[in-house]
Amino acid sequence: MAKNTDLHETRQTVTYTGVAGWIDRRLPVLTGFRAEYITYRMPANLNWLWNFGAILTVVLMVMLATGLFLAIHYTPSAADAFASVEAIDRQVPSGWLLRSIHMTGASLFMAALYIHLFRGLYYGSYKQPRELLWITGLVLLCMVMLTAFAGYVLPWGQMSYWGADVVGKAVGAVPGIGGWLEHFLQGGDAPGDVSLHRLFILHFFMAFAVLGVVVVHVAVLHVAGSGNPKGIEPPAATVPFHPYYSAKDAAGLVLFITVFAVLVFFFPAIVAEPENYRPANPMHTPADIEPEWYFLPFYGILQSVPSKFGGLVVSVGAIGLLFLAPWLDTSPVRSARYRPVYRLGIVGLVVAFVTLGLVGRHHAEGIWMIVGRIATLVYYGHFLLVMPWSTRRERTLPAGVEGTP
């Protein structure tokens, strides 16, 4: 394991022969694949949190495949959407399985995305020279959230309809153009046939757009290379991607797929909302309407702010702040391991995020209103106070840790 700063090894060049060689000389896909996924140098000290990139890639493929086959049976019209989804569950051979995989996959995709994001925040993956990697990742987060919202509307059940309605009203809260924008995006006075058509196309299109941005994300990653838990670069030791990380990614995938399968086959109700198995009814709002769990923290912020537009700004701002992380935190020390103050801020951030999720499940009144406001302040505090302040304090590695920060 020689110390090697060059990620793309050139010593072990392989010359391909025959058909492979003919293609490779004209379009070096084999040489490229070898350089990026076989001999590619990886830090030797990555922990399990670095598994989630590969997991997300595979879940995306599963979502694309199941989504494509579900779209074959789905009818995007207000009159027929609900019945076509019921038919997928009850009549299409294996349709129940494809839909269960797609629904569970959506939840696990967001779960893995949040872990991946946490990994980035904790180990300073957003820092120079990986700012663009961080930003493409956040763009993906926004795109996936939009895709998830659009997908949730498609079954046109009660939660679908009222989810679309609430989001429409939130857009309507934008001062000045809000009312017009809501009417324009919705394609009418209330969510209906036109909205459903648009959201179906949006969902379908975004799925492939996400794939495209993932390619960019991975390409950017392979320029700077993976960070590592110590945050010391270049890392003390590197190993080739194959077999070390191909095997580790595969092992992580097996564990992840096991959890996935257990959810799909034994606990499908965890991700399904019973109320959404009633057809959309614009005349009756369900008693307890709340978004999917992965939107709850942002819904919690929305509820905690005592202003319709203010809530929207603070809620969207919570994601917007993430984009500023590389410039709010410019400490040369990457890893939270060697940054006690920053680490405390991260703990507060995670606690606030989970708390806001709980707040999102309750009506904004009494104690939940107060808890929600405190958690919102803690969330914002990590970015606007802890990041700049700890940048000035935490600039060196502790004694005994070798390497340049």
Partner 1 sequence: MDSQAAPLPRRDFLTLATTATAAVGVGAFAWPFLDSLRPAGTDVGRLPIDVDVSAMKPGQQIAIVWRGNPVFITRRTPAALAALKQPALAPRLRDAASSAHQQPPYAANWHRSLSPEYGVVVGVCTHLGCVPGYMPDASASIPIENWPGGYACPCHGSKFDLAGRVFKGAPAPYNLPVPPHHMMAPGTLRVGENPPGETFDFGDIVQI
- Give the active site residues: 222, 226, 248-249, 292
Write out the binding residues for partner 1, residues 56-75 only, by CB under 8 A: 65-66, 69, 72-73
Those residues with Cβ within 8 angstroms of residue 379's Cβ, 6 or more apart along the chain or in another chain = 301, 318, 349, 352, 353, 356
At which residue do the structure tokens 């969330």 appear? 379
Minimum Å gap between C-beta 75 and partner 1 is 15
Q: Which is nearer to partner 1, 13 or 258 (CB)?
A: 258
Minimum Å gap between C-beta 68 and partner 1 is 9
Locate 109 and state its tokens. 């995709």
Q: Which is nearer to partner 1, 197 or 242 (CB)?
A: 242
Write out the binding residues for partner 1, residues 7-36 only, by CB under 8 A: none
Residue 245 binding partner 1, by CB under 8 A:
no
How many whole angstroms separate alpha carbon 140 and alpha carbon 213?
7
Residue 92 binding partner 1, by CB under 8 A:
yes
Write out the binding residues for partner 1, residues 183-222 only, by CB under 8 A: none
Minimum Å gap between C-beta 396 and partner 1 is 43
Minimum Å gap between C-beta 148 and partner 1 is 22
Residue from 93, 175, 176, 400 in contact with partner 1 (CB under 8 A):
93
Residue 97 binding partner 1, by CB under 8 A:
yes
Residue 83 binding partner 1, by CB under 8 A:
no
Minimum Å gap between C-beta 249 and partner 1 is 12
Instruction: Please say whether the beta carbons of 27 and 258 come within 8 A.
Output: no
Residue from 76, 95, 155, 372 in contact with partner 1 (CB under 8 A):
95
Residue 91 binding partner 1, by CB under 8 A:
yes
How many whole angstroms separate alpha carbon 361 and alpha carbon 298?
11
Those residues with Cβ within 8 angstroms of residue 109's Cβ, 6 or more apart along the chain or in another chain = 56, 59, 60, 63, 144, 148
Q: Which is nearer to partner 1, 13 or 91 (CB)?
A: 91
Q: Kindly report the three-state secondary structure assignment for every residue of 143-186.
A: HHHHHHHHHHHCCCEHHHHHHHHHHHHHHHCCCCCHHHHHHHHH
Burial 353-390 (b: 16+ CB within 10 A, else e): bebbbebbebebeeebbebbbebbebbbbbbeebbeeb
φ/ψ region of 18 (left if φ > 0, alpha if ψ in -120 to 50, else beta) reads left
Those residues with Cβ within 8 angstroms of residue 74's Cβ, 6 or more apart along the chain or in another chain = 81, 84, 85, 88, 154, 200
Q: Which is nearer to partner 1, 179 or 243 (CB)?
A: 243
Locate 389 and state its tokens. 């302040």
Largest CA distance in the chain: 74
Minimum Å gap between C-beta 366 and partner 1 is 47
Q: Which is nearer to partner 1, 92 or 209 (CB)?
A: 92
Q: Which is nearer to partner 1, 250 or 262 (CB)?
A: 250
Residue 248 binding partner 1, by CB under 8 A:
no
Q: Long-range contacts made by residues 180-186, C-beta under 8 angstroms, separation at least 24?
A: none
Binding mask 274-303 for partner 1 (x = CB under 8 A): ------------------------------
The binding site for partner 1 (CB under 8 A) comprises: 65-66, 69, 72-73, 91-95, 97-98, 101, 250
